[in-house]
């Protein structure tokens, strides 16, 4: 059931709606089955942790929670603003993503 998503790990994305509307961040992880992505600095939640080897102090840790991909748009590499994504064959015959605003290929 996992479909091709317009967002990949490492993309810079713009948040369309919600508490973090207008902010941008880098995608850390994509969860295609749940149609969600974890974005750096977006949708922070407080997680209460017990003391462990990793966190000897324990306490409250701020952590990114997943955001639905419908609320995210890839940022155009040349213009800098949010853009829709298309797919087309490049000169080598490989299917690549491109920005609909500028027509530029997204790496």
Nearby residues of 17 by Cβ (< 8 Å), 6 or more positions away: 71
pTM tops 0.85: no
Q: What CATH number labels 12-75?
A: 2.30.30.30
pLDDT digits (tens, 9 = 90+) for 52-88: 998 899 999 999 999 999 999 999 988 889 999 999 9
Nearby residues of 46 by Cβ (< 8 Å), 6 or more positions away: 60, 61, 62, 63
């Amino acid at each position: 059931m996992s479909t091709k998503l317009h967002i990949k790990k490492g993309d810079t994305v713009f948040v369309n709606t919600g508490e973090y509307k207008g902010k941008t961040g880098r995608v850390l992880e994509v969860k295609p089955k749940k149609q969600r992505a974890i974005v750096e600095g977006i949708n922070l939640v407080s997680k209460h942790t017990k003391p462990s080897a990793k966190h000897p102090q324990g306490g409250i840790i701020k952590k990114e929670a997943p955001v639905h991909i419908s609320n995210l748009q890839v940022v155009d590499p040349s213009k800098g603003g949010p853009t829709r994504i298309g797919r087309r064959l490049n000169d080598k015959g490989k299917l690549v993503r491109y920005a609909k605003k500028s027509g530029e290929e997204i790496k």
